[in-house]
Structure 1
Amino acid sequence: MISVFDIKEDCCGCTSCQHICPTKAIEMKPDEEGFLYPEINQELCNDCGLCRTVCAFQNGYDISDDFAAPKVYAVKNKHEDVRMASSSGGIFSAISDHILDSDGLVSGVAFDENMNVVHKIAATKEERDEFRGSKYVQSELNHVYSEIKNLLKQNKAVLFTGTPCQNAGLKSFLDLARVKTENLILCDIVCHGTPSPLLWKEHVSFLENKNEGKLLQHSFRWKEAGWRGYNVYAAFDNGKSKLNTADVKSFANIFSSDAALRPSCHYCRYANLKRPSDITIADFWGIEKTMPQFDDNKGISLTLINTAKGQKLFEDIKSKIIYRESNTKDCLQRNLQESSKVSEKREQFWQDYHLRGYEYIVKKYAGYNLKASIKRKVKTALIKMGLQA
């Protein structure tokens, strides 16, 4: 009898084990925190061990194609509307435009009709546009790895975007399945960690109840209020919209607290400059200090070119972007150096949630209370009077 992992900290939920299983014995099921983990149907399992072999999170990941050090760029998309619709500088749109224009396909993360965060595959730019913008929730991969495998077998070009562990899992799955990957571009994000999908679903219900309408649009990084920080926007089917109110911003505050991240995120193997992808993208935080002439508070993409394949793609899109060369010293941010630390409040946070529910934890941990509301209003008033920056 075999199991895929021994402790939860060793499972990132990438689904490579589920996809490689020759007898379809593995199913991804949520635990009490809402994170998906592989469960083996022992009646179907033949003890082949492939589920253990394919696990890049436990066994290490392939960086044989990586440059000794990544090439670093600060990037803006030339199209202002694209940049404003993006979380940072719009590099993802430039990359994915090139793939789609070459008759390829793009896999990325979108909200579905129920505001669940899921991986999809897009064949058009209209479908791809759903992938723009950060979604601070662990996405459901479903059968995307298998779909990409089939597309590659048809000699289709594919761009996959996701967290580093999802990229490493896909690469390991395809290698073990002996699928040629010369037409695959892997693109990862600099990831702080993935919070619970269960809490996200609770948050959606919480917002819909409080605002008496179905949530239609949600943005963790609303650019109309500027690029820096978490400006959170929500719109409902009753015409109501909100920006940075206590209810709307509560989930982002939980995310920032590190109390609800997946356990493996605190032991991330990819929180360094040795990336499992061809290209890494992120916000270029701190650029106002290192390259102030390039910054306009509308979003700058940090772009790390990790492989020769990534470099070729970057050369192909240079006409679509404005860029400046940087270096690894100026681009370093916390999750390019180390994992997010375990919050000392994590255990109590989950106890409180299971005993008292979502509204209780947003009041206790996420600023959804009268005292915090007064502080926000005072700060806003001081800023308007020019007494506080």
Structure 2
Amino acid sequence: MTNTNYPICYAVKNKNIDIVAQSRSGGAFTAFSDDVLEKGGVIYGCVFEGLKVLHIRAVSKEGRDRMRNSKYIQSNIENIYLQVKKDLDAQKIVLFSGTPCQCHAIKKYIGNKVYENLILIDIVCQGVASTKVWEDYCAYVSKKVKEPIVSVSFRNKKFGWKSHIESFYGNKKEYHSGIMRDLISNRYILRPSCYSCPYKNMQRQGDLTLGDLWTDEQMKLPFNDYDGISLVLVNSDKGQEIFNASASKTESIRIDITRCKQRSLHTQVEPQKNREAFWKNYKKRSFSYIISHYTTETRTNRFKKFIKQVVRRG
């Protein structure tokens, strides 16, 4: 089986409930990468380093575990392609996880040589957000809680799998909101190239594609406990092999891909009609103004029932 317009689609959940809790979907990435690590392979993936996002190389489960969780900011991938090629030439099994454009860049970098020891996983990607907005958002939160922010978590599962809440952590305080997700969902702050992405189709760049399973059929799945289910597309023979190798660690059911609600697999993101006006305001106004006029944060106070924006700890 080679990459086609019709990948095989699965709903997947890791059997280890602790792994599911620490993941943002169903823990499929951990199951797939476990097999590579157990064979002495190398994992490349995206992590938070403080408030910055970058790709790293990992040869242990501890290093790999840092790659869990969502990141909606473009990662710094400096020197990673060079390291990947060195590992491939050293005959190591390499699993690289990233956006479809990053996976395509790997292919372009290594050229026409076929590496059977390279496994690519692309993620279902709506687009990546402006680094400038992210930095300003972090500064806004730090000022709000009156202390430096030391770590962050997108889509904090303690508020539910579908909550899309960002959690910021200082040494003594926490701050929770959905500002970034609002700005991304409303199509204001994606990089311009993301509005003409050439990878919004079923000709996937990865041997496997990972995302969240949003579907009407989700409610009928025997392992649906509302803690997260992974959408997995198997796109190649190599992808099928690693999928099969992880079978003892996962529960999975083949599903009809036409029932999947991940529009980002095949539908181009349209820029917001007033995106130009947004950026004019962004350059002239405060971040508080942007929040009040372009997000639901202050207009509806949607988290009021179950969350306080600033929570003291310790």
Q: How does the TM-score come out when normalised to structure 2?
A: 0.92
Aligned positions of 1:160-175 closer than 5 A:
160-175=96-111
94, 113, 131: which is aligned to 1:197? 131
| Residue of structure 2 equivalent to 1:96 | 33
The offset of 1:360, in angstroms, is 2.5
The offset of 1:273, in angstroms, is 1.5
Distance 1:324 1:285, change over 3 A: same
The offset of 1:309, in angstroms, is 0.5
Task: Measure the CA separation in 1 of the matches of 2:154 and 2:216.
Answer: 21
| Residue of structure 2 equivalent to 1:37 | none
| Residue of structure 2 equivalent to 1:240 | 173
Q: Tell me, yes or no, if structure 1 residue 286 matches structure 2 residue 215.
A: yes
Aligned positions of 1:348-359 closer than 5 A:
348-359=277-288
Contact 2:123/2:209, CA 8 A, preserved across alignment: yes
**1:156 counterpart SS class:** coil
Q: Tell me, yes or no, if structure 1 residue 230 matches structure 2 residue 164.
A: yes
Contact 1:75/1:89, CA 8 A, preserved across alignment: yes
Distance 1:288 1:332, change over 3 A: closer
Task: Measure the CA separation in 2 of the matches of 1:347 and 1:224.
Answer: 36
Contact 2:157/2:163, CA 8 A, preserved across alignment: no
Task: Measure the CA separation in 2 of the matches of 1:150 and 1:105.
Answer: 11
One-letter amino acid of the counterpart of residue 305, structure 1: V
Task: Measure the CA separation in 2 of the matches of 1:343 and 1:78.
Answer: 40
Task: Measure the CA separation in 2 of the matches of 1:158 and 1:358.
Answer: 41
Task: Measure the CA separation in 1 of the matches of 2:79 and 2:216.
Answer: 38
120, 131, 142: which is aligned to 2:67? 131
| Residue of structure 2 equivalent to 1:188 | 122
| Residue of structure 1 equivalent to 2:154 | 220
Distance 1:99 1:287, change over 3 A: farther
One-letter amino acid of the counterpart of residue 105, structure 1: V
**2:253 counterpart SS class:** strand
The offset of 1:228, in angstroms, is 1.7
Tell me, which stretches of 5 or more residues in structure 2 are unaligned?
A: 307-314
Q: Which has the higher Rg, Structure 1 or Structure 2? A: 1
| Residue of structure 2 equivalent to 1:372 | 300
Task: Report sequence identity in percent.
Answer: 36
The offset of 1:111, in angstroms, is 0.9
Superposition misfits of 4+ residues, deviation over 6 angstroms:
none
One-letter amino acid of the counterpart of residue 194, structure 1: V
**1:303 counterpart SS class:** strand
Task: Measure the CA separation in 2 of the matches of 1:311 and 1:75.
Answer: 14
Tell me, which stretches of 5 or more residues in structure 1 are unaligned?
A: 1-63, 382-389
Contact 1:290/1:330, CA 8 A, preserved across alignment: no
Query: How many residues get paired?
Result: 306
Contact 1:100/1:125, CA 8 A, preserved across alignment: yes
The offset of 1:141, in angstroms, is 1.1
Distance 1:291 1:323, change over 3 A: same
